[in-house]
Structure 1
Amino acid sequence: MDLEEAPDSEGSEKSELFSQKEEEEFDEGEEEEDEEQKEEEEEEEKGEEKVKTGLLNPLLQPILTGDVDSLQKIFEDPENPLYDQAEHLLLEEDIVRRNLLYAACMAGQSEVIRVLAKYGVNLNDNTARGYTLLHCAAAWGRLETLKVLVLELDVDIEALNFRKELARDVAARYSQTECVEFLDWAAARLALRKYIMKVSTTLAELEKGPGRLFKEDKNTILNACRLRSDWLETHLEALINEIFEQKQQLEDIVTPIFLKISTPRQVRSAKSVT
């Protein structure tokens, strides 16, 4: 179902929102079905029937429609009848451990995600088969939601599902080209950031040990790391190849210094002295 189309009922909307994409992924390539899987399917059918009978989560509608004012009142107004159970309702899970945050991602409700993140929810939580909110947004092609999750809320872009797929891989499987490009860009930035952290950690360890860390070398490394960190903050529109160039430049500065420190000194023998 197209998420932009008006559903016949809230029940059918929730049913389809919570099944279409991920169920396709669950079923692909699984030709052999054991008893445990059959039991899970039976339980899920019961869950779908529960939805159809009208036992709906009261947070569903404001989340799907992007009604952030109503959501904030529920979570912040002690007089609201749903106040005491707001967190429980938000994190209530279906049979495969999807909560309403997944519905927000499927619907591309980025502002809803921003608001709900303030209430201490774990944005890196995953389903029974390892799908995170990022996997979900990637599969459904919700580019703006991906940007909010990655750039503002700092979710883990390296999380893997049960297929050992990154969110980027899921986006590629569903031909979500813009999402693939964005996640590749985000991965390049993360690689540079992690390398800077690695260099800083190594430098701190060398200072504690007996290594030959000269002040000039230390300052060279620190300045190079600081320049790249500042560059990341001020070049949010940089292309992937430009990010890799910055990482390579840093490696070209740092590697020779660390190699020099790790190379044992040659001890001159008494015979060579005479």
Structure 2
Amino acid sequence: MFLLSSQVVWKEMELVEEKESSGSVEVSTLEDLGPQEEPVTFNPLLRAALTGNTEGVQQIFDDPEDPDREKATELLMEKDIVGRDLLYATCMAGKSDVIRTLAKYGVDLKDKTARGYTLLHCAAAWGQLETLKTLVELDADIFATTFRGEKARDIAYRYEQTECVEFLDWAEAKQNLRLLIVQIQATITDPEKVQGRLNKEDKSITHKACQAKTDWLENTKEPTMQDFLDQKQQLEDIMLPIFTKLATPRDADV
């Protein structure tokens, strides 16, 4: 079992999921309190992570003379009874540089606890805006939901973390534009879906539209959420007649 060197850290972490239980007494007491009832063990990687010591974290993984190097991955991956690992405590503490460093060593930023909480949910609950930005940059799943069907954005809203809500709305709008581009490109290159329904001009229009939006994503400085929404609507408008062709039943094809 993964046990932290500071019981305060897990006590606070447990409050996140305790809040999400809506006060139900049916939530497992063992899951919520188990880690506090166990003897605390020393984890050198945790100490470095919670103090923001990125050099110390790297040394444990990379220095062949460090006595903890062989078990570094084990220290990182070990979980408590509800599925929380060292990264959850790091997110709660807002140690973004450490998270970025740990991401180099094979951690799964999309991992979930037993009740479906992700690192994004944790950072959102505790109002760690910079940590949210780091996780999104590292491709954490902003659409992941808990056992209650709530995204990180919903958790931030519940606990009145206004800046986190605004950022996650922005990030979701950006991701939705990206996903639309990917969806269009995948559809237009699928011979089974196209089935000769599109001519060369249709394909050219599609390619140019997707490329234009991709370039916009890569080059636009400080876009707003509304900018993403507008770009997505423009792309949908361009693609509407083309997707109408693709939606035509085969027996009606000319």
TM-score by length of 2: 0.90
3-state DSSP of counterpart to 1:213: coil
Aligned residue type for 2:80 = D
Aligned residue type for 2:75 = L
- Structure 2 counterparts to residues 15-26 of structure 1, below 5 A: 15-26=10-21
**1:57 and 2:43 are equivalent in the alignment:** yes
- Which residue of structure 1 aligns with residue 24 of structure 2? 30
- Which residue of structure 1 aligns with residue 212 of structure 2? 227
- Structure 2 counterparts to residues 37-76 of structure 1, below 5 A: 37=27, 40-42=28-30, 45-50=33-38, 53-76=39-62
Aligned residues of 1:106 and 1:137 also touching (Cα < 8 A) = yes
Aligned residues of 2:127 and 2:164 also touching (Cα < 8 A) = yes
TM-score by length of 1: 0.84
Q: CA deviation at 1:237?
A: 1.5
- 2 CA distance for matches of 1:220 and 1:46? 59
Q: CA deviation at 1:141?
A: 0.5
Residue 114 of structure 1, aligned match among 100, 107, 129: 100
Identify if the C-alpha distance between structure 1 residues 246 and 82 changes in structure 2 by more than 3 Å, giving closer, same or farther. Answer: same
Bigger radius of gyration among the two: 1
Q: CA deviation at 1:44?
A: 5.2
- Which residue of structure 2 aligns with residue 255 of structure 1? 240
Aligned residue type for 2:239 = V
Q: CA deviation at 1:138?
A: 0.5
Aligned residues of 1:17 and 1:103 also touching (Cα < 8 A) = no
3-state DSSP of counterpart to 1:59: helix
3-state DSSP of counterpart to 2:142: coil
Please report the RMSD computed on the Cα atoms of aligned residues, expressed in angstroms: 2.1
- Structure 2 counterparts to residues 234-273 of structure 1, below 5 A: 234-260=219-245, 262-263=247-248, 264-265=252-253
- 1 CA distance for matches of 2:164 and 2:9? 24
**1:190 and 2:184 are equivalent in the alignment:** no
Aligned residues of 1:138 and 1:179 also touching (Cα < 8 A) = yes
Identify if the C-alpha distance between structure 1 residues 89 and 210 changes in structure 2 by more than 3 Å, giving closer, same or farther. Answer: closer
- Which residue of structure 2 aligns with residue 135 of structure 1? 121
**Count of residue correspondences:** 248
- Which residue of structure 2 aligns with residue 88 of structure 1? 74
Identify if the C-alpha distance between structure 1 residues 61 and 195 changes in structure 2 by more than 3 Å, giving closer, same or farther. Answer: same
Compare 114-123 and 241-250 and name the one that shifted more: 241-250
Aligned residues of 1:211 and 1:261 also touching (Cα < 8 A) = no
Q: CA deviation at 1:245?
A: 1.0
- Unpaired runs of at least 5, structure 1: 1-9, 267-274
Q: CA deviation at 1:24?
A: 2.4
Residue 185 of structure 2, aligned match among 200, 207, 217: 200
Q: Deviations over 1:188-218 (max 9, x none)?
A: 1111111111111111125875323211111
- 1 CA distance for matches of 2:253 and 2:68? 70
- 2 CA distance for matches of 1:194 and 1:112? 29
Aligned residues of 2:177 and 2:228 also touching (Cα < 8 A) = yes
Identify if the C-alpha distance between structure 1 residues 25 and 258 changes in structure 2 by more than 3 Å, giving closer, same or farther. Answer: closer
- 1 CA distance for matches of 2:143 and 2:118? 10
Q: CA deviation at 1:23?
A: 2.5
Aligned residue type for 2:68 = L
**1:150 and 2:145 are equivalent in the alignment:** no
Aligned residue type for 1:256 = P
Q: CA deviation at 1:48?
A: 0.8
Aligned residues of 2:187 and 2:193 also touching (Cα < 8 A) = no
3-state DSSP of counterpart to 2:65: coil
3-state DSSP of counterpart to 2:71: helix
Q: Deviations over 1:118-164 (max 9, x none)?
A: 0001110011100000100010000001101102x111111000110
Aligned residues of 2:188 and 2:194 also touching (Cα < 8 A) = no
